[in-house]
Amino acid sequence: MSVRDGCILVTGGAGYVGSHALVVLLEAGYSVVVLDNLSNSTFGSVTRVQEMTGQSIPTYNCDLCDKKGVEDIFSKHKISGVIHFASLKAVGMSVEIPLVYYRQNLVGTINLLDVMKEHGVYNFIFSSSATVYGDPKYLPYDEKHPTGSCTNPYGRTKYFIECILRDLCAAEKEWNIIILRYFNPAGAHPSGIIGEAPIGDPHNLMPNIAQVATGKRKEVLVLGGDYDTPDGTGVRDYLHVVDLASGHIEALKKLDEKCGLKTYNLGTGKPHSVLEMIKAFEKTCGKKIPYRIVERRAGDLPTFYADPSLAHKELNWKAERSLQHMCEDLWRWQSMNPNNYN
């Protein structure tokens, strides 16, 4: 079955990356169905996407651990491929409640794969993470870098799922699976209509910076200032969320080549430190962003960034938007929506 023969099920479609993917999918002419359990999102994002695009999106409040619920969605819609964003993703929480993380991410994914198979759907894109690489043997990470030395349960769920997918592809030739290893998504849709809207305290740097800029928070807590990096703060590979979303369009095309299992980094290859991100955002919003350097977080690495050349070569994808775009778009989103989707 070609991915164009039916619609794309987007799990976690109400989330940050998922909602931006909906926009680019609809723009590229795909039909989509959204599944989300709303554990860290609301359907406000999907409502906005419908308003932006003038298209109606079938949307299900369903948890992947409810296999019967997932089967119902596959029975109601002709699904030709799945983009699997849905995941618990807070590193710190995964250390505190590992069993919840293992159930949600592993059992959820195994259910999804089983239901896909029962319905003859073999096109799958998985949201993995650079965290699977663990302690760098060399940088930038390319896709051949060893994986598995993850420092927390969240990372292990991603690594375990990658292993499951590789074993599955080796055993059953029907499957076409693309593993996308995300670096650090940032920014928002340039319209300012959708963006990152975490429930509760944001776990990532950029929403924290933006909330300090709007006055919602007093200061940015910088986790570690004594790393072996140019300014002592952690260095990451931030990429614009719309670039990241676009990578999934290219991956869908690749699936139609009957690609078997492929793995690609999605990053820019141009890393920035925490302090550089703060400075860049100050320049964009014209305000001083107070910050305070605190203790390192256990398991955090000093520096990592992508070699994104394989995605360029095989998917014809590369990140096109600059750090300035990320800051401007995030600031527009945050200014227009100080209370996110509420």
Q: Between residues 109 and 208, which has the closer beta carbon with respect to a copy of itself?
A: 109
Site track for a copy of itself across 121-150, x = CB under 8 A = ---------------------------x--
Q: Burial-class residue 282 by CB neighbours within 10 Å (0-12, 13-18, 19+).
A: middle
The least CB distance from residue 42 to a copy of itself, in Å, is 27
Q: Which of 16, 30, 154, 305 is catalytic?
A: 154
Q: Which of residues 97-126 bind a copy of itself (CB under 8 A)?
A: 97-99, 102-103, 106-107, 110, 113-114, 117
The least CB distance from residue 110 to a copy of itself, in Å, is 5
Q: Between residues 107 and 199, which has the closer beta carbon with respect to a copy of itself?
A: 107
The least CB distance from residue 166 to a copy of itself, in Å, is 9
Is 154 annotated in the active site?
yes
The least CB distance from residue 153 to a copy of itself, in Å, is 5
Residues 304, 272: Cα–Cα separation, whole Å = 10
Q: Between residues 48 and 158, which has the closer beta carbon with respect to a copy of itself?
A: 158
Locus of tokens 């929506």: 337
Q: Between residues 26 and 165, which has the closer beta carbon with respect to a copy of itself?
A: 165
- Given a contact cutoff of 8 angstroms between Cβ atoms, the answer to whether 213 and 291 are in contact is no
Integer angstrom CA distances of residue 331 from 3, 97, 152, 209 = 35, 33, 31, 10
Q: Between residues 2 and 149, which has the closer beta carbon with respect to a copy of itself?
A: 149
Q: Between residues 65 and 249, which has the closer beta carbon with respect to a copy of itself?
A: 65
Residues 294, 234: Cα–Cα separation, whole Å = 12
Q: Which of residues 155-174 bind a copy of itself (CB under 8 A)?
A: 156, 160, 163-164, 167-168, 170-171
Q: Examine residue 198 and say whether the peptide bond preceding it is cis (omega within 30 degrees of 0).
A: no
From 153-161, 184-192, 249-257, 303-311, span contacting a copy of itself (CB under 8 A): 153-161
Residues 245, 252: Cα–Cα separation, whole Å = 11
Site track for a copy of itself across 59-98, x = CB under 8 A = ------------------------------------xxxx
Q: Which of residues 27-66 bind a copy of itself (CB under 8 A)?
A: none
The least CB distance from residue 134 to a copy of itself, in Å, is 11
Q: Which amino acids are annotated catalytic?
A: 154
- By CB under 8 A, name the binding residues for a copy of itself: 95-99, 102-103, 106-107, 110, 113-114, 117, 148, 153, 156, 160, 163-164, 167-168, 170-171
